[in-house]
Each structure stands twice: as structure tokens, then as C-alpha cells.
Structure 1
Amino acid sequence: MKVRLLVFLLLSISLSFAQTRKYSNEFMNIGVDAAALGMSNATVARTNDVNSGYWNPAGLIKLEDNQLALMHSSYFANIANYDYAAFAMPLDDNSAFGISLIRFAVDDILDTTQLIDEQGNVNYDRISLFSTADYGLTFSYARDLPLEGLSYGVNAKIIRRIIGDFASSWGFGLDAAIQFESNNNWKFGIMARDITTTFNAWNINEDEFAKVQNAVEGQNQELPETTEITIPKLQLGVAKLYRFHYDYTLEAELDLNVRFEQNNDVISTSFASINPALGLEFGYIDMIYLRTGVGNFQNELQIDNSEDLTFQPSFGVGFKYKGIQVDYAFTDIGDQSVALYSNVFSLKLDFSVFR
């Protein structure tokens, strides 16, 4: 019964996303690229490579050659796997294109809803496996504007979410962004996510869901709603690059992440909530990088009704040689608690290495 109840809870939590409309597609907010994650995702203004398709598509305009990026990380004691792949290329001197795919999934979940038949007989051959997986496919385009240093970018996103044979959904959304770089190494970026709201339409397999409803007697499991939306979010960033003795660099960025709702962010009103993030990257001869950052500040309510400020620190290192860059980040998916820290690895390949 404990196993059957666990399966039911997993399905109920996943399907309940359709009822919590403004928190849908949260897997698209985790972030990509170990270099950015090592700086607590503070990269909206400074991003300038293949990963800009996720962080700020306007940054794709800085590409000088085709680039490929790969990333893998595991969360919740390796229960959930997060994978990312992206490719980007300059179209001409004034425009660029990119495509990326994200997969966040829990695989090989035991389906024990048919373990016990109507007569109460236990048959372990009736146990099967299923996966719950979220996919995000993004097409990005960037172009220079007439003002020197100013560019814009747009994303078109297709969301696919699958919960075994129980339910699946399709979603569509748009992002828009701008980026500006001055002659004195100041950088500014604005990223508006889900500007039209992202819509997900669910298809519920009622026959399969009925098996879940019957798995635990006495429970009232109604079918979830079949439509959900993702409300817009805004990210504002400013970055500055400092160079010391030619060989050493320090780049700092401060981002403000804005959600148009009231929640536990460190700055919260009835109209919007603001969460700051600060990232630092120290570089040596454009080859070795050390990174750190802090973000995700939350006012968490404690048992005694007091509030405790929590935050999410991050650390990372990187190594680049010619057109190959390998990055590592040690970061948390939530706050500074020890249990949820994950190791993130990413690889970036610039096709100029083959020329």
C-alpha cells in the first residue's frame, strides 16, 4: 500500500500543475550552462554565446562562428535528470539564429496501480515503468539595431509535457529581449519571458487516470483542469568588465528578477515581486575562470511565525582552450540547505577550432 500511495502522490503532484496556473512550466526557469549557474544565473546582460538563446537571445549577435553547447545535471539525489543541448550560428554580420532543447525528467517510476487485482491477488508481473518528462524546444533570432552596441532578440518556445500514459500537454510561448554594450565595458540587458503568457493544453487519458483513482480507496481524485498558463516574467541586468594587468579580468553582474505576483521574494508587493542575483567571474588569460554568486533571496515563514531570510549561493570553475570550454558549477535548486546541492557540468564547442 505504501508503494501504491507513493505512485499516486507522484501523479497527483504532477497533474496538479494544471490547477496551479501561474507556476506551470517551472522547469524552464532552472537555467542552463554551468558558467551561468555558477554565478547564480546573473548573466542577462553579459551573455554572448550559444547559451544566449536561453538567457537573452539578443546576445547571439556576438557570435563569430557556429557554436554547440551541452549540459547535464541531476537533482533530488539523482532522481530527476536535467539535460540541455543548443546550437547557434551567425546568419550574417547583423543577425544570428539559435535552437535549444531542454529535458527535465524522472524516469523509471514504478506503476503499481495494477499490482492487486479485484480479488485482492498480488501479481508482481503487473508492475510497469513510466516516465514523467518535460521538454522545452526554443527557436531564437537576434539582430543588430541601428544604434551601435544595441541588439534585440526573440524566442519562440514549444513546450511538451508527458506523464506516462496518463496525461500529456502542448504549450507555446514567446520571449523578447534587448542588450546594449557601451564602449567602456558596461553591459545592460532586459529579458521578458512569456510575454504573451505561455499556454499549455492538457490531454488527460481518462482510462489510465481511472486506474490511479482506484489505486487508493476512499480518496477523491478529480481530473485536473485541461488548460494552464505561465505568467510573464522580467529580468533586468547590468554588468561591468574590469581588466587588470592585461592577464586578469573580473566581471560582475547584478540582475533583478521580477514576477508579477506577490510571493516570498525579498521585495514583494501586490503588483510584483523582485528577487536580486549577484554574480562574479574572475578570469586569467582568458583560459581559467573562477565564479561565485548569490541569489534566490526568500523570506521563509518559520514554525513560530517568524521570517527567516534564505538565499542560494553558487560556485563554479571553467577552463577554455581555443574553441573548447568546459565548465562546472556547484549549486542548489532552492536555497543554502546542504541536501539539495547538485553538480552541474557543461561543454561548449566553438566551430572555429576546426578552421
Structure 2
Amino acid sequence: MRKISLLLLLLTALSASAQAVRKYSNEFMNIGVDAAALGMSNAVVASTGDVNSGYWNPAGILKLEDKQVALMHASYFANIAQYDYAAFAMPIDSESAWGVSLIRFGVDDILNTTQLIDDQGNIDYNRISLFSTADYGATFSYARRLKIEGFQYGVNAKVIRRIIGKFANSWGFGLDVGLQFDRNDWHFGLMLRDITTTYNIWNIDEEEYAQIAGAVEGQNQELPESSEITLPKAQLGVSKKFEFHNEMTLLAATNLNMRFEQTNDLISSSFVSIDPAIGFEWGYIDMVFVRAGLGNFQNVEQIDGTKKVGFQPNVGLGFKYKGIQVDYALTDLGDQSAALYSNIFSLKVDLGIFR
């Protein structure tokens, strides 16, 4: 029954922008990758320096010493939606590096019941069909050192492909730019996402759309707007790793996630809204890691009209041995925010171990 109701949700999503260009799109690209980063509440823009940097800050792939691959899987909405990620990155020379990554967020085997009742009013279960809805994001990253010592930059070119069964599909394109600066064991990072306002163009099958629109009583039969944009966002980060004599380390990091519109974020104005995040990673002999973080700070309005601050706590564990790293994250530990619990696993491998 939950998958049946998804059909109506998809119809609503298509129709929500019938009068204007949609300004919120491609939200699946904001979920995040790498259980290690998610365990720190995504506060990694300054510290990231591996294959996953193509997502968090492409400047970070310059810190790679060899080829590296990463995989991640997560389930959302009571295992209805599946989120998968794969990435590869490698240095070109001492001054540059490149990488590529792919994200898929999809719901499969959704029941299409629009043809359940035939023209004579008879129910025929053989008329039920299945379809899938999936969002794909392919990112191509390039990074290079600047002539100023400690500075490096990276650029992402993104291709977005979104499919809703036979009803509609779209293509989108966008750019990200990232900067990192290292000085005296302090690390600073700036990530500008969708700086050109990622633009999606939808192709809607009028005949198929008419069938699902007609299946909902009172539904607007007009085709929804075929264009949508993703507004720019910025992330500013600072981090520092502390090393202790007993082979233990502590990485402390913070992010300021900025959107250039008024929202329910902790700091909100008509020009910019800011959602802070903080993360910690305790490490022992660069083999065992324990992580924790707080993020997604929101002003949540209560039933009585008052507001309270909601936030999302995350925790995680990691284990690395001879170039193979396995990480786990539990996002939204507790009942502080409206986000759903998610168990996330990721794998990272240095391909140099096979040489």
C-alpha cells in the first residue's frame, strides 16, 4: 500500500509547479556520501582529502597519493528508497588530480494502478503494472594546486538524469567550485555548489501523464512546468587534527552551510540562512575511528506557536587496515529532529595495495 501511495506522491511532485519554474530540485544530491563524513554530520569541507572529496570539496582529491575507489549503500523510508554511490579518483601528477562519481537514488517496483478498472467498471488485477523512479547524478572532478603555497582548487561538472517511469524524464547540468587552504595544521575549505544554478529540463509524456492525472479526482489536467533550477549554496569549513603521544588523534571540524534564501535554519535572514554543523573523529594508530557530530539545526514551530531548536545527532565507527577502510554511520541518533533513522555503510580501497 505504501508503494501504491507513492504513485500519487509522484503525481503531486509533477504538478506542484504548474504555475512557475521550480526552485527546489535535485535534493538527492544533498543527502551526502561516505559513512565517515556522515558520522561527523558532514562537517568535512575543510578536512576531506580522499576519493569522496569529489562530492564534499573537489580540491581535496589533490591529497590522494594513489588511485582510490569508494562504495556506499543506504536505505531510506523503511527500506523503500535505495541510495547508492560509487567513486574513483587518482592523481595526475604532483600538481593535479581527477575523479568521477555516480549517485543513484531510486524507488523500484512501484505499483501502477491507474488501469486497474477497465472501461466497463470491472476490476482487473492483470492491468496492474510496475515502474521505477530514479535520480542519477554523475560528477566529473578536476583539482589543481595554485601557485600560492597551501592553496588548491577543484571544479565539478555535474550531469543529472531523473526518470519517473514512462511518465517523465529530465536532464540537468551544473557546476561546483571548491577551495582548500592549509596552514600550520589548520585546514580551511569553501565549497560553492550549483554556482550556475543547475538547470533541469523535463520531457513529459502527455498521454501517460493524462492517465495518472485522470486517476485522481479533481486533479489538474494541465501539464506541469517543464523547467526547474537548483539554487546556489555555499559551505565554509574549518578543521584541525590534534595528535597525542599515545598514538591517538582527534579531528575537530565545523561547517557553516549557507543557502541564499530565508528558511527555518538556525540563523535566517532574507539574504542568507545558515545551518551550522560540528563533527569529531577520534582515531587510534590510524586504524580504529569513533565519530560523532551535530547538524541540521532548524527552528521548529510547535503546535502552540512557539519554536524550539531541532538538530540531528550522528555517530559512526570506522576500521582501516592495509589500505581498506570500512565505515558505519547511524544518522539521527535520538528523537531531536524529524529526520529518519538510517544505517549507512561505506567502503574505501586504495588500489595501490594490489600492486
User: Normalising to structure 1: TM-score of the pair?
Assistant: 0.96
1:58 aligns with 2:48: no
1:11 aligns with 2:21: no
- Report 1:166-185 matches (<5 A): 166-182=167-183, 184-185=184-185
Equivalence for 2:236:
236
Report the CA distance between 1:220 and its aligned residue: 2.6
Instruction: Give the distance between the partners of 2:116 and 2:170, measured in 1 at CA.
Output: 27
Q: Which string of whole-angstrom CA distances, capped at 9 and with x for unpartnered residues, describes residues 101-141 of structure 1?
A: 00001111000000001210111011011111000000000
**Runs of 4+ residues over 6 Å off in structure 1:** 2-5
Equivalence for 1:139:
140
Equivalence for 2:197:
197
Q: Which string of whole-angstrom CA distances, capped at 9 and with x for unpartnered residues, describes residues 124-179 of structure 1?
A: 01101111100000000000111222100000000000000000000000000100
Contact 1:319–1:326 under 8 Å retained in 2? yes
One-letter amino acid of the counterpart of residue 202, structure 2: W
Contact 1:262–1:271 under 8 Å retained in 2? yes
One-letter amino acid of the counterpart of residue 343, structure 2: N
Instruction: Give the distance between the partners of 2:114 and 2:34, measured in 1 at CA.
Output: 38
Q: Which string of whole-angstrom CA distances, capped at 9 and with x for unpartnered residues, describes residues 193-244 of structure 1?
A: 0001000000000000011112123333432100000010000000011001
Task: Give the total of aligned pairs.
Answer: 353
Report the CA distance between 1:9 and its aligned residue: 1.8
One-letter amino acid of the counterpart of residue 171, structure 1: G
Equivalence for 1:346:
346
Report the CA distance between 1:336 and its aligned residue: 3.1
Q: Which string of whole-angstrom CA distances, capped at 9 and with x for unpartnered residues, describes residues 35-69 of structure 1?
A: 00000000000000000000000001001000000
Compared with structure 1, are the counterparts of its residues 267 and 128 closer, same or farther at alpha carbon in structure 2 (3 Å cutoff)?
A: same
- Report 1:274-313 matches (<5 A): 274-313=274-313
Report the CA distance between 1:3 and its aligned residue: 8.3
Instruction: Give the distance between the partners of 1:276 and 1:354, measured in 2 at CA.
Output: 40
Contact 1:188–1:239 under 8 Å retained in 2? yes
Instruction: Give the distance between the partners of 1:17 and 1:146, measured in 2 at CA.
Output: 48
One-letter amino acid of the counterpart of residue 47, structure 2: R
Equivalence for 1:33:
34
Equivalence for 1:163:
164
Q: Which runs of 5+ in 1 are unaligned?
A: none
Compared with structure 1, are the counterparts of its residues 271 and 118 closer, same or farther at alpha carbon in structure 2 (3 Å cutoff)?
A: same
1:319 aligns with 2:319: yes
Equivalence for 1:206:
206
Contact 1:310–1:335 under 8 Å retained in 2? no
SS in 1 for 2:271: coil
Q: Which string of whole-angstrom CA distances, capped at 9 and with x for unpartnered residues, describes residues 311-354 of structure 1?
A: 01100000000110000000039973588101000000001211
Instruction: Give the distance between the partners of 1:119 and 1:220, measured in 2 at CA.
Output: 24
SS in 2 for 1:23: coil
SS in 2 for 1:21: coil
One-letter amino acid of the counterpart of residue 10, structure 2: L
Compared with structure 1, are the counterparts of its residues 20 and 253 closer, same or farther at alpha carbon in structure 2 (3 Å cutoff)?
A: farther
User: Normalising to structure 2: TM-score of the pair?
Assistant: 0.96
One-letter amino acid of the counterpart of residue 51, structure 2: V
Equivalence for 1:224:
224
Contact 1:311–1:335 under 8 Å retained in 2? no
Report the CA distance between 1:292 and its aligned residue: 0.3
- Report 1:56-95 matches (<5 A): 56-95=57-96
Contact 1:254–1:276 under 8 Å retained in 2? yes
SS in 2 for 1:45: coil
- RMSD of aligned C-alpha atoms? 1.9
Q: Which runs of 5+ in 2 are unaligned?
A: none
Percent identity of equivalent pairs: 69
Instruction: Give the distance between the partners of 1:296 and 1:131, measured in 2 at CA.
Output: 30
Instruction: Give the distance between the partners of 1:128 and 1:112, measured in 2 at CA.
Output: 7
One-letter amino acid of the counterpart of residue 110, structure 1: L
Q: Which string of whole-angstrom CA distances, capped at 9 and with x for unpartnered residues, describes residues 283-322 of structure 1?
A: 0000000000000000011121111210011000000001
Instruction: Give the distance between the partners of 1:271 and 1:226, measured in 2 at CA.
Output: 28
Compared with structure 1, are the counterparts of its residues 3 and 75 closer, same or farther at alpha carbon in structure 2 (3 Å cutoff)?
A: closer
Instruction: Give the distance between the partners of 1:305 and 1:84, measured in 2 at CA.
Output: 40
Q: Which string of whole-angstrom CA distances, capped at 9 and with x for unpartnered residues, describes residues 178-202 of structure 1?
A: 00111x2100000000001000000
